[in-house]
Amino acid sequence: MTLIGAGTVVIDGQICRPGWVQTTGRRIVDCGAGMPAGPVDVAFPDCVVVPGFIDMHVHGGGGASYTEGNAGDVARAAEFHLRHGTTTTLASLVTATPAEMLSAVGALAEETRRGTVAGIHLEGPYLNPARCGAHDHTRLRAPDLAEIDAVLAAADGTVRMVTLAPELPGSTEAIRRFLDAGVVVAVGHTDASYEQTQRAIALGATVGTHLFNAMPPLDHRVPGPALALLADPRVTVEIIADGVHVHPAMVHAVIEAATPERVAVVTDAIAAAGCGDGAFRLGTVPVDVESGVVRVHQTSTIAGSTATMDQLFRNVAGFRPDPDAALTAAVQVTSATPARALRLECVGNLRAGFAANLVVLDQDLGVVAVMANGVWRAGTTDT
């Protein structure tokens, strides 16, 4: 049993100063405001304790990628992001051939069972070539039910989300098939109209993949998918809050308009995260990193990011002048909202019975320590 005390703890969305969390094994057994009843095992008097971050859209980091499902690479990427506070990772795959996709899904299914990642996000191949972004346009294709069934069989329940373009032929049947399998359907990399997006939502799509990126911009006469996603209370919108993909003022406006309960910030990070500038690959596509920005080689097309969730937490926390409102909003969009969007149980909050996943932040919101499933995995615990 471990009793953790801190100057500030965000418990179930409420700021407690001071606060405490008690863990046993992999679970939180109790938590509360004020001073704990007994002596603490680990004290962080000048720090903030928040739930572990949940990244529902990430392709890799620390020089390693989830793309091929290689066990060593998966562990290396997940460990890199863990050091930055991400205790729950959905491994995102890019568009690949049918054989490559089946191989990667099968390998990542095994890593999900091992607990290295929390599941698989299929970003493609059912995307619109007109909005392919950094995906290999030669491998994009319309949904095929036989292929979908093969992928679902290989995944054995580990595919948690799929991003697709609802205007493609066969998308209606694909959405239904994925939903029947318990997979969250996201709209993204799409040229869909406002009305087509509304129909996808009516069918059961509940996530907008990296809002504004790889979709038509908002227009007052042709509002497109972005407004349809923002306007529907059933939809959670991802947003890459790195200051590159979306202007900070727009990120702030989205969080204020949709509320933090409907916004999940994501990194969309690739293997280059944490590696500095240079040449990398995203699947088969060569990309270059310059000043921390990833672009498809010799183009202006942004290709994922080098961001980490702690960086995005700090960015969101800086949007509001009220520090308490800023802190609770940052916690919501980095933990509770993605957990709800993915229908993940017992993560995303500091609450009795939930997984003992937490991040200790200093006064500048830098990571001091990380606990995942009751084990200190990064930083110092002798503060």
Q: 149-168 pLDDT, tens per residue?
A: 999 999 999 999 999 999 99
pLDDT of residue 379: 75
Write out pLDDT tens, residues 164-221.
999 999 999 999 999 999 999 999 999 999 999 999 999 999 999 999 999 999 999 9
Is 99 within any annotated ligand binding site?
Answer: no
> Is the model's pLDDT at 311 over the cut of 60?
yes
Q: How confident is the model at residue 380, as a pLDDT?
A: 60
Q: What are the structural domain ranges in the chain? A: 2-50+348-378, 53-342
Q: Which CATH number fits domain 2-50+348-378: 2.30.40.10, 2.40.170.20, 3.30.300.30, 3.40.800.20?
A: 2.30.40.10
- Is 19 one of the annotated binding-site residues? no
Q: Which residues contact 217 (CB under 8 A, 6 or more apart)?
A: 224, 226
Q: Please give the average per-residue pLDDT across 76-104, as a whole number.
A: 97
**Mean pLDDT calculated for residue range 138-144:** 97
114/107 Cα distance (integer angstroms): 11
| Residue 221 assigned to a binding site | yes
| Per-residue pLDDT tens digits for 361-371 | 999 999 999 99
* Residue 302 is assigned to a ligand binding site: yes
**Per-residue b/e over 119-151, b at no fewer than 16 CB within 10 Å?**
bbbbbbbbbbeebbbbbbeebbbebbeebbeeb
∠ CA 377-118-373 to the nearest 5 degrees? Answer: 35
Average pLDDT, the chain: 96
pLDDT of amino acid 38: 87
Q: Which CATH architecture is the domain 53-342 placed in?
A: Alpha-Beta Barrel (3.20)
CA 364 to chain centre: 23
Q: Label residue 321 by pLDDT band (50, 70, 90).
A: confident
User: Would you say 124 and 189 are in contact if contact means Cβ atoms under 8 Å apart?
Assistant: yes
Angle between helical axes of 171-180 and 145-155 (0-180°, round to 10): 20
Nearest to 76, CA basis, from 67, 63, 89: 63
What pLDDT does 317 receive?
Answer: 96
Please list the active-site residues: 268
pLDDT of residue 37: 83
Q: Sorting pLDDT into bands at 50, 70 and 90, what band is 381?
A: low
Is residue 304 a contact partner of residue 282, using CB atoms and an 8 Å limit?
A: yes
pLDDT at 360: 98
- Identify the pLDDT of residue 137: 94
189 annotated ligand binder: yes
Is 247 flagged in the annotation as binding?
Answer: no
Q: What is the pLDDT of residue 124?
A: 93
What mean pLDDT do residues 251-271 have? 97
State yes or no: 304 annotated in a binding site. yes
Which pLDDT band, with edges at 50, 70 and 90, does 383 fall under?
very low
For residue 65, the SS3 value is strand
